[in-house]
Amino acid sequence: MTPVSAPAQDFAAVRAQLAARATELGFAAIGVTGVSGVQLDRDESRLLAWLAAGRHGDMHYMARHGTKRSRPDQLRPGTLRVISARMNYWPAESRAPDAVLADPTLGYVSRYALGRDYHRLMRRALKKLADHLEALLEPLASLMPQARPGPHGYRVFVDSAPVLEKALARNAGLGWIGKHTNLIARDAGSYFFLGEIYTDVPLPVDPPASAHCGSCTACLPACPTAAIVAPGQLDARRCISYLTIELKGPIPESLRPALGNRIYGCDDCQLVCPWNRYARAAAHPDFKVRHGLDAPRLSVLFGWTSTQFDTHMRGSAIYRLGFERWLRNIAVALGNAPSEPETVAALNARRDDPSALVREHVHWALERHNAL
């Protein structure tokens, strides 16, 4: 006998219980969206135009998977819904960003990277959420639209596959994509991580979020390298997060002065966003500041050995950057620091570094201080 579809109210009850479990797991909110529609079609067109313009720089993986990024059912066949989840990361106990950025002897690390790496933490939490969904579905097994044995089909993502996460989160009602291209929530600003569960369960969908940037354009002039070329348009090749994290080779000389003391990522466009007055502090202790990275002294960081880097950064998002590019970034910041004996001495100590990449940036920095 062909099973009938489960009543809509049953899936609505599952959705409500899933939200309660998400809160227990540390998520600030979850939303549910479908896998197609006019909005996603427009997002796909914008993505393809962005790639065609070369604004992704050396992030070749952005183009590698074709339309799978904007078509969830291509990435995981059978997907009917995307459960989007957000988790706050703002480290309330960290030193004020403005104070760090104003002191050129210190290094600025994007606030999301001050604690432990979020990828593993969020993946575990999403897997537990998916397992809970499985348990909630057991009473409805005989009423599921497809008569198939075994557990429901799903896949968890946290920056681990071609997923158009901000567009899906917007469609799931978690926030709108601001003019700086980050997702903004009215009740939480933009300091949060996103993760997804692709599932074949026909949960009720949430209405998409509407935009509330209004006439505000504070984020555009705030970008140190003018990477936000127009509202909602980012040229990654100029973005400090790209230059200090994604870029494998030398940082373009013309952009180095604008990096200031930013050695891993950049928060400037978010720091000026009025909606971040509502930012929520991280609930998970793993996102608390580690190793004094909220206001580290550049000369001290530049003196680390590779062993010290491994010891301090293992378990951090920064660890994936590697020691060589870590030194590259700090060399640029030291080049932008005041010409003091401590700065020049730190640079001279790596004048003959084994890495050609590091040596080139040290040479540039010493030239800035007329110390060659």
DSSP string, 190-211: T-EEEEEEEESS-PPPPPPPPP
> 229 — phi, psi (to 5°)?
-75, -20
184 and 251: one domain? no
Cβ-in-10-Å burial (0-12, 13-18, 19+) of 341 comes to: exposed
Cβ-in-10-Å burial (0-12, 13-18, 19+) of 14 comes to: buried
pLDDT at 56: 96
Residue 114, Cα to own-chain centre: how many angstroms? 13
| Local structure of 277: helix, strand or coil | helix
70 and 184: one domain? yes
149 and 190: one domain? yes
C-beta neighbour count of 246 within 10 angstroms: 17
pLDDT at 7: 65
pLDDT at 150: 52
Max CA separation in the chain (angstroms): 84
256 and 185: one domain? no
Q: Is 294 in contact with 114 (CB distance < 8 Å)? A: yes
174 and 34: one domain? yes
Rounded-to-10 torsion of CA 106, 107, 111, 112: -160
125 and 241: one domain? no
Task: Work out whether strand 192-199 and strand 154-157 pair parallel, antiparallel, or are unpaired.
Answer: antiparallel
Total domains in the chain come to 2
| Local structure of 234: helix, strand or coil | strand
Q: Is 166 in contact with 182 (CB distance < 8 Å)? A: yes
Per-residue pLDDT of the chain (372 residues; tens, 9 = 90+): 334 455 667 889 999 999 999 999 999 999 999 999 999 999 999 999 999 999 999 999 999 988 999 999 999 999 999 999 999 999 999 999 999 999 999 999 999 999 999 999 999 999 999 999 999 988 876 665 554 445 678 999 999 899 999 999 999 999 999 999 999 999 999 999 999 999 999 999 999 999 999 999 999 999 999 999 999 999 999 999 999 999 999 999 999 999 999 999 999 999 999 999 999 999 999 999 999 999 999 999 999 999 999 999 999 999 999 999 999 999 999 999 999 999 999 999 999 999 999 999 999 999 999 988
Residue 126 lies inside a defined structural domain of this protein: yes
Residue 336 lies inside a defined structural domain of this protein: yes
148 and 246: one domain? no
Name 60's Cβ contacts closer than 8 Å, sequence gap at least 6: none
Name 29's Cβ contacts closer than 8 Å, sequence gap at least 6: 22, 85, 86, 174, 185, 188
Q: Give dist(CA 319, CA 43) in Å, integer.
A: 32
pLDDT at 148: 42
13 and 86: one domain? yes
190 and 319: one domain? no
Q: Which of 159, 206, 286, 353 is catalytic?
A: 159
Q: Give dist(CA 281, CA 267) in Å, integer.
A: 16
Q: Cα 136–137–139 angle (5° rounding)?
A: 95
Residue 218 lies inside a defined structural domain of this protein: no
Residue 311 lies inside a defined structural domain of this protein: yes
Residue 281 lies inside a defined structural domain of this protein: no
97 and 149: one domain? yes
23 and 143: one domain? yes
Residue 14 lies inside a defined structural domain of this protein: yes
63 and 16: one domain? yes
Residue 353 lies inside a defined structural domain of this protein: yes
Q: Which domain holds residue 244?
A: 225-265+297-368
159 labelled catalytic: yes
Q: Which helix (H) or strand (E) holds 308?
A: helix 306-313
Q: Is 287 in contact with 195 (CB distance < 8 Å)? A: no
Tens-place pLDDT, residues 317-370: 999 999 999 999 999 999 999 999 999 999 999 999 999 999 999 999 999 999
Q: Find the radius of gyration of the CA atoms of the chain.
A: 23
Q: How many CA atoms lie within 13 A of 321 on its CB side?
A: 28
Task: Work out whether strand 108-109 and strand 262-264 pair parallel, antiparallel, or are unpaired.
Answer: parallel
pLDDT at 151: 61
Residue 219 lies inside a defined structural domain of this protein: no
Q: Is 168 in contact with 221 (CB distance < 8 Å)? A: no
SS3 content of the chain, % helix, strand, coil (to 5): 45, 10, 40
pLDDT at 146: 52
